[in-house]
Amino acid sequence: MLNNKTMKLTKTQPLLTEKEALLLVDRELDVRGLVCPLPILRTKKALSEMSTGQVIKIVATDPGSVIDFQVFAEQTANELLSLTELNDEFVFYLKKR
């Protein structure tokens, strides 16, 4: 069941949204093949090495990561700038607080 804070994803989304195409990414993190809690833990570690305002792009394959990253962003006050799905991969853009 989707609540009002959960984004619904479709397989028809473009590779990059217009907003994503304008984002400057400071770091990329590939967590494909990893399952909960590893994508979040690796992201948390990467964010600790970044400065405020920097953007990280995360690519994951775990469907559970959609909810995990939404909750993580809300709980840590990092901004989830974008979330898309393409070919069973989930791409997240987070801005460090």
pLDDT band at residue 23 using 50, 70 and 90 as cut-offs: confident
Name the active-site residue from 7, 15, 36, 41.
36
pLDDT value for 19: 59
**19 in active site:** no
Which amino acid makes up residue 91? V
Candidates 46, 5, 51; CA nearest to 83 is 5
To the nearest whole number, what is the mean pLDDT of the chain? 85
Query: Domains along the chain?
Result: 23-95 (3.30.110.40)
What are residue 83's DSSP bridge partners?
92
pLDDT value for 3: 44
pLDDT band at residue 21 using 50, 70 and 90 as cut-offs: low
pTM above 0.75, yes or no: yes
